[in-house]
Amino acid sequence: MDLYEYQGKQYFARFGVPVSPGEAVDTVEDALGAAERLGYPVVVKAQVRVGGRGKAGGVRLAADAAATRAAAEAILGLDIKGHVVRRLWVERATDIAAEYYASFTLDRTNKTHLCMVSAEGGVEIEQVAAENPEAIARLAIDPLDGLDLEAARALASRAQIPTAALDGVAQVLVDLYRCYEQGDADLVEVNPLVLTPDGRVHALDAKVTLDDSAAFRHPEWEPWRDLESLEPRERLARERGLQYVGLDGDVGIIANGAGLAMSTCDVVEQVGGKPANFLDIGGGASADVMASALEVITTDEKVRAILVNVFGGITRCDEVARGIVQALGRVHITAPIVVRLDGTNAEEARAILAEHASETLQALPTMLEAARRASELAKEAR
Ligand code: GDP
Ligand code: MN
């Protein structure tokens, strides 16, 4: 899960990483109220999950109420690389003496954490990497060793951070590492990390990607789960605990396991069909899960046929078949359903489906045949 800047800064603050005081607002009036409370000058910043907001006009300094109003009016509704701004972060403006860069991320190849620091912050790091790669100092961090002040200071020094800022930068790096490590983030990036004229170092921007696999031990992440920005269908799927990704074809796909769901999409493509979605119902496929899956898929008007592809290992095919039959009694479905079940108790499952076979429900023995039939049915219905 990617956080907005203001959420990232709230997360930083929990781990002692210094950030400017600010308020998240959704209207021009609230932006004014926030600015009055914070004191001028303020910075008005677009909250979108994409970088380069400054260049796109999404970050503006405002010295008084009139300028704050103008900035908020200009930024709300602005389209930044396809992301429309609905929320602003108003923060007290900072005087900047120098702009640096710092990040922590996972180095999968090296099987370590990776810290990158540069004295050339404020510009896109990709640009620095391309034009002046030696300006980025890197440090591989063994998760068992962690990062101490001494190592952080040495890294900052290698990155050409001036002596006056070394202690401040090192402290931020150590706190930022705790945020990344204990905070279960896959990425924390600060660009710019600034030095103020009075010698303080603090984070002026925040990019944080949380590791969704760790969500179970972070109830405090719940309010950040941004269901609002999901497509209604994706939101419904998420609420039902299903892994759903919308695609633009017309064959709805339900499979158990992400691997099988992906293979099913591939096979449908191979036989000339177009998958309408990827949907993994996971292990076990009770009537409830099946009903939820069918419900999610049938809210997609593009779907002309549904392919259910289940391989029973621990999952028993006869239960899946009963699930489908029961689900059909609960959810109104007009698109024909083609089912392929194989594995544990497949014979019983086929018998159950045969009893309920109709125009809208048919079973075929192989994935290829089922994919072909579903794709044909979808084409006929176009
Ligand atoms: P990004 O363009 O999406 O990365 O947004 P940033 O939050 O990094 O802001 C872009 C630029 O705006 C920064 O690099 C700063 O130069 C400038 N900026 C942001 N906040 C302040 C501030 O408090 N004071 C000043 N003077 N400039 C700021
Ligand atoms: Mn930035």
| Domain ranges (residues) in the chain | 21-92, 98-222, 230-380
pLDDT value, residue 289: 87
Fold classified for 230-380? Rossmann fold (3.40.50)
Ligand 1 pocket: which of 99, 191, 205 to mutate (most atoms <8 Å of CB)?
205
* pLDDT tier for residue 284 given thresholds of 50, 70 and 90: low
Spacing, Cα 17 to ligand 2 middle (Å): 16
What mean pLDDT do residues 11-16 have?
97
Closest listed ligand to the CA of 54: 1
Residues contacting ligand 1 via CB (< 6 Å): 43, 45, 51-54, 59, 61, 93-94, 96, 99, 122, 191-192, 204-205
Q: What is the mean pLDDT of residues 266-271?
A: 97
How many Å separate Cα 207 from the centre of its chain? 12
Check pLDDT > 70 for residue 228. Answer: no
Predicted pLDDT of residue 239: 84
Report which bound ligand comes closest to the CA of 191: 2
- Confidence at residue 227, expressed as pLDDT on a 0 to 100 scale: 62
Substitution candidate for ligand 1 out of 92, 96, 189 with most atoms within 8 A of CB: 96
Eight-state DSSP code of residue 223: G
Q: Which residue is closest in CA terms to ligand 1's atom 16? A: 122
The string of pLDDT tens digits covering residues 50-85 is: 999 999 999 999 999 999 999 999 999 999 988 899
Tell me which of 90-99, 110-119, 318-327, 370-379 is least confident: 318-327
Q: What is the DSSP string of 138-162?
A: EEEE-TTT---HHHHHHHHHHTT--
**Alpha carbons 235 and 205: distance in angstroms, whole number:** 29
CA 359 to centroid of chain Cα atoms: 40
Residue 8: the pLDDT is 97
Closest CA to 291 of 306, 273, 269, 272: 306
- The correct answer on CATH 3.30.470.20 for the domain covering 98-222 is yes
Catalytic residues: 101, 189
How confident is the model over 149-178, as a mean pLDDT? Answer: 98
Average pLDDT over residues 31-41: 98
CA–centroid distance, 141 to ligand 1, in Å, is 29
For ligand 1, atom 7, the nearest C-alpha belongs to 205
Nearest to 354 by CA among 318, 306, 311, 303: 318
pLDDT tier at 130, thresholds 50, 70, 90: very high
- Ligand 2: centre distance to CA 112 (Å): 25
Residue 271, class by beta-carbon neighbours within 10 Å (0-12 exposed, 13-18 middle, 19+ buried)? middle
Higher-pLDDT residue of 232 and 335 is: 335
pLDDT at 229: 65
Of residues 115 and 360, more confidence is placed in 115
Task: Tell me how far the alpha carbon of residue 96 lies from the centroid of ligand 1, in angstroms.
Answer: 9
Average pLDDT, the chain: 94
Q: Which residues surround ligand 2, an ion (CB under 5 A)?
A: 191, 205
CA of 1 to the centre of ligand 2 (A): 18
Of the bound ligands, which one is closest to the alpha carbon of residue 99?
A: 1
The predicted model scores a pTM of: 0.72
Whether 10 shows a pLDDT value over 80: the answer reads: yes
CA-nearest residue, atom 11 of ligand 1: 54
Q: Could you tell me which CATH number the domain at 21-92 has?
A: 3.30.1490.20
| pLDDT attached to residue 313 | 87
Which residues have CB under 8 Å from 320's CB, separation 6+?
256, 285, 290, 308, 310, 312, 341, 349
Roughly how many angstroms between the first and final C-alpha of the chain, as a whole number? Answer: 37
Q: Where are the beta strands (DSSP E) in the chain?
A: 22-25, 42-46, 59-62, 79-80, 83-84, 88-92, 98-107, 112-118, 136-141, 185-195, 201-203, 207-210, 243-246, 251-255, 277-280, 305-312, 337-343, 361-363
- What is the predicted pLDDT for the residue at 330? 86
Q: What is the DSSP string of 303-371?
A: --EEEEEEEESSS-HHHHHHHHHHHHHHS---S-EEEEEEETTHHHHHHHHHHT-BTTEEE-SSHHHHH
